[in-house]
Amino acid sequence: MLDYHVHLWPHEVRASSEQYRLERLAELCARAAAEGVTEIALTEHLFRFSAGRAAVGEFWRESPDLSLRARMAEYFDHHATADLDDYVEAASAARAAGLPVVVGLEVDYYPGRMDRVARLLEGYPFDVLLGSVHWLGLWMFDDLDDERSMAEWTRRSVESAWRGYTEALEELAATKACDVLAHPDLVKVTGRRPSGAVLDECTSRMAEAARSSGMAAEISSAGWRKPVGEAYPSASLLDRLHTLGVPVTTASDAHDPAHVADRAGELAAFAEAAGYRSLRAFRGRRGYDVPLRAEALR
């Protein structure tokens, strides 16, 4: 088993070099090993780094809403404080010390700016890049603690949110800037789902986006910790991914050490039920398959 989505900082906490300590990374690996996970990927959000903010630019200034622009600037001022070079060096040092760590990032999708992101990241020795959609325009639709974000769910139709998310996911996949689609149906985070026909349309498009891009897809336990109460992706989307031959990783999306390798056994069973017998691992952004369970080695 793998946990290919591990963060160093909780969302609300400013980045700190204290989280880079080898002892801290060893603690994460020990937690994973206790749950039967043999390798973790450190995948902090790109927007946590000052270099990431510089690459995407202050895209929120395009909004005519002055209060929203101020809110977005405050958000990035709070989060974009870490040094990307320090992060990569620390993760690489942990691997050199023998820890089962791969060096990665979670890269949010910013329309029209992914070429800048690719240019920034191509100079670093990353093993894996996760691509994710958290923003629809300037709406962070999965910020469940923000009243304004949650109020937007009542102003938009569920169908428009799902279709908007699906279109963004397709655009992200088409850039081929990343290796894995993180939590591919994240738009279901609040438990809101469109009509059966729209749901089927969006699910089909998500699966095809993964297939046509050559990306892997993530099976994440994070959804079990959210109002939707199920893994990402849904069973129907995972079945479509398997039918189309899309490889998968497994992940916790942990922002707290206690969540590293969360429900690893359940993720394995979920993947097996869809027909998977291997997981996609990465080195130097090249994928290769590893057995889903240790028994497959014998």
Interstrand relation of 139-140 and 135-136 (parallel, antiparallel or unpaired): antiparallel
Question: Does the pLDDT at position 134 exceed 60?
Answer: yes
Contact 5, 182 (CB under 8 A): yes
Quote the number of domains for the chain: 1
Predicted confidence (pLDDT) per residue in 37-93, tens digit: 999 999 999 988 988 888 887 777 777 777 777 777 777 777 788 889 999 998 999
Q: Which two tokens stand for residue 202?
A: 């969006």
Predicted confidence (pLDDT) per residue in 98-125, tens digit: 999 999 999 999 888 899 999 999 989 9
Which of the pair, 293 or 88, is modelled with greater confidence? 88
Average pLDDT, the chain: 91
| CB < 8 Å & 24+ apart, contacts of 145-153 | 148/71, 150/190, 153/190, 153/192
Longest dimension (CA), the chain: 62
The range of the structural domain enclosing residue 113 comes to 2-297
Crossing angle between the packed helical segments 114-121 and 158-175, to the nearest 10 degrees = 40
Measured on CA atoms in the order 137, 141, 147, 153, is the torsion positive or negative?
Answer: positive
Could you tell me the CA-to-CA distances from 298 to 182, 247, 272, 293 in Å, in that order?
Answer: 31, 22, 17, 10
pLDDT at 13: 64
CATH of the domain at 55: 3.20.20.140
pLDDT at 146: 87
Percent helix, strand and coil across the chain, each to the nearest 5: 50, 20, 35
Question: Does the pLDDT at position 15 exceed 70?
Answer: no
Could you tell me the CA-to-CA distances from 161 to 3, 66, 140, 227, 237 in Å, in that order?
Answer: 29, 23, 11, 17, 18
Question: Does the pLDDT at position 288 exceed 50?
Answer: yes
Mean pLDDT of 249-270: 95
Question: Does the pLDDT at position 296 exceed 80?
Answer: no
Question: What is the separation, in whole angstroms, between the first and last Cα of the chain?
Answer: 16
Question: Does the pLDDT at position 18 exceed 70?
Answer: no
Which of the pair, 20 or 106, is modelled with greater confidence? 106
pLDDT at 19: 61
